[in-house]
Structure 1
């Protein structure tokens, strides 16, 4: 009989449903299904003795003894590979989509596995002349111009023997699921949606006891899809799964194009821990094998992430049983985050659909990186990230000057502010703080943080003895080569404006928050860091503009919502997967929703008797929605990131690098920089922070937000209780940047 899980009902209809889910609809009638007939004569008389290894493999792969007996009697017989230890000849039998290996007598079974794509033949795409021409042009661009690449994904696919296991629903092997997902979700779905094109590049590495590059720098197109389907039909997982030869090959491929405008992803799929033989090293003495693996992986991934930073996504997928140890895969993702790269670790269920969803979420990270690297005025032009070296956020802080720091004497240092606070006013010099006049300042050569627009270095005040003193500071500068052509200070202008406006709104928010019943000194408030701009005279690079802020603890740093509308805990966007219920997203609104009545949102302006139960994590989301409501849907402050300082009373969300979305009455776009989408985001509905929003939306009679040159302030003609709002400065005064 055919093995259970390998009958003709195996996966045809399942894959057909999967095609429909991803929006890719080939002619299902073309999908050929294996219809091998069950033998009509008895096979029990065929004597086959199974080795312990063979018994284990048949149990794992759901193959029974009658299948093996039928294979020896009715299957296709071929010469197999000799025994690697003794050189003894072996036979290979193929029958009913299962492969069996026996000894030379055909009486002793060695092992067995399902044939590739058993019971399934995913249709390839008919290659037209137009598809051929597009492929030839894309391939030529990939070979001749590294600057033309928008992304390069290096996929390491585990092809060790355990990937033959048929523990997926309906009898698919783990290997089959991976190749189906790469073909459908990584290539076909993205080509159909326009998310990917021939400027996106894929390399594939097969990982077992040795590593082999299956596809090297191939443009994403339908020919690549066909080749992935073809390999699905012939893949033969075997032997051990050694990580480090695969990482060597992946590193070589990732570095094959170091152009700063190319988004990079290392995609590592495995169903278990490494099988590598550990090297003998003095620094690894006393480590367990698992700890050795993790230490060596940290070294390898750290080198890559240090070079590529935020341009690189390290995405690891553990595709195996729930009992499997995936700690090394998790370490790969978390290590990349230490250097500013995007780290994602996922363990989808053993189904094609679950693996497909995981793959789709990973490709979103590459798409976001591609968007960051796109020129604002011309999406066809990629911006180039500057080539710098990054340090781990876990690195120990230095106490004095060393060769790892740039040192600027006080005579090389200048501090400036925007004169009069007017947008077109010139930058003016201001007196340096006395702390800067002793022996100047120092800036670390390596960066330790990286955002969508800026790189962050450690910045310190220096004594005459070369020791660091004063507060821990950071200096921010542009990530991109193209910004160096601008004025040395113009890049920082939008940031200063954005942070100052957000700071003024935070002051109003805190005032109103204090009036809510139930709010105490244990309820966190919101504060945006003050920033100042320095100009230094560098021996190698000339005059450099630096935006300087207090340093926030990188180990406590987190993001409470982002520019795409997600809030903390909503999605698995980091190496640490979210657990528990997910928070609702902040949804984008359409133009016609702008005039929607506030009462429909539940934000009445009258006094209500509500019960307030405020959680710390509610405050950032409430502030974002407050800015939207308070400015009458003109502004929304989001991308809230920083640390929650619980050492002070009340606790304080210390935030930096906000994004403001501004709705211009005159059709202007990107008023607050390239991250300004120019449209609002709708409030959350029916969530725990709604009661906070109701109270924050209340205004005493006569209080209205009034647009000033630089943001919003309060004017109150009837209530003196809110006169503290005069703390909200209507422009950028020199004092706001101490």
Structure 2
């Protein structure tokens, strides 16, 4: 019923002291009630009272509608849904049960649902009780905000646990979408006033909140379908009234075990709904236990103002997003970063050299697919003019490698140091130029030494997909790309940019301070980042020129891939088997991506083409050149304009491999196979270079040609 027939100026509001206080606390102006009475709608509330709703605010008045009793925001509305949304959500859940590796994050939300959460004791302004606030803010801040901001897509999962004396799993690994928003809102308390008033007596009969079983259930959910690239979070709401507060050590043990298992990939946030006099010892202990065991942990107390809840949820989302990105870029869970690493930027002395005797030099042989001993200098300097002069003078290889104690840069897995070859064990013996020595930055992997670079300590094992093979293969494809550039309009032998990946070696160094008495480093050319800006042009997850998008899973595409794999009788796959060229290949490239418009040839068609155009085209080229089997991405390095022709020098690539035998991560953990290829084409826009190269030719000999050409370049006998 509308109150529009009444004039606001004639309405006399006889606000009760309670109503005035509530309005002031909730920042609801008296004029809001006047507007509500004029323009709002009303319905019967409990007893003889009326509820008047207008502009998102609900006013409770006495039977005369002239005396205000209380005021609060109207409940958050549900989002309209349809069968398409329901069907898509069901297909996504089905897919992620069969392909859990496609999930990028999993958050378990734990909400206290005991009687004390329904009482007025810990009231949150604008919400009639703490339980209502917890579910409302979870739906609004965690689900809706992430959908709006694209920080959560259908690869991000959420589970919901309600608990009082016992835990109850209400949502399990649901993809974040509007259906989940509605499902969370459905758990808000809708009891009548009398029932809510009597709610605390439920605790007296059945016991207060029992944290321990809820924590154990949360851990079970986080463990289920877990994989190494999954960012994990637990968000815990309670008013702190725990019946098991005397078992805090047991709670800490559960959380510590959880944190030790997942390390920095886990974020634990707890929120205490109450004032400074409430006992939040248990919630503090949970957060502290997570931090002490290697995860991220934080506690926030929400005293009346709901801003604390928003801040805590925002912090959780930010932490989970950062973890997800780090995992996508190659960080591993369960590894501890070395604490002895100090950046050059943090020290006053730029170089602080440490000298090591070189015991062995290994380079990767693509023909045998193994590392083997080489008598050459490291490939980073093997072909320089200075090296040629040393060969003519028959000088022996420098016996020492000097490594700066302070690092130059850090990546997802490796840390890079300046290094120099030296005739002596001091700087007076330096020869040739600066190079880069790379090591793992994780303590656990540091002990693995050569294995980090895919070299066995006792024997040279078959190298399935090590760093050196990946970089060697990428360099071969770059050389093929450079050859194809000869056919584009206005090609210039001195001006058209060329692509080149750095060659690398593994040096075994005598180091008495290291485990086993040796230290292994991967050595490559030092790029001139002081003169040329270091740039990451794309990555293995759809990023282009620094613009990163959190990509939705293409559910239909992935389900079709599963059907194809199930239709094939794969049988046992030997570890080293390569896929046959005659077998089926990936087909993720849409027609609009490679159909080539007629490009108008200007006198200088490359005046508006930047290095990124070549590099995005190169990634596309690798896919077409290898018959849709391979895609090289994660392109990073410098554009060296001092070289002739100008050269884009690259390092640390990633390769997606579309295995016809169903193998995954053939080229390491950054290899996302057909899924990674599909993600590239979602963000790729064909450049002029793509169109000029007519990326459509088939090449059945690419696999054999790579190994033979690369081996000839290194003078290996095949």
Taking structure 1 as the reference length, the TM-score comes to 0.48
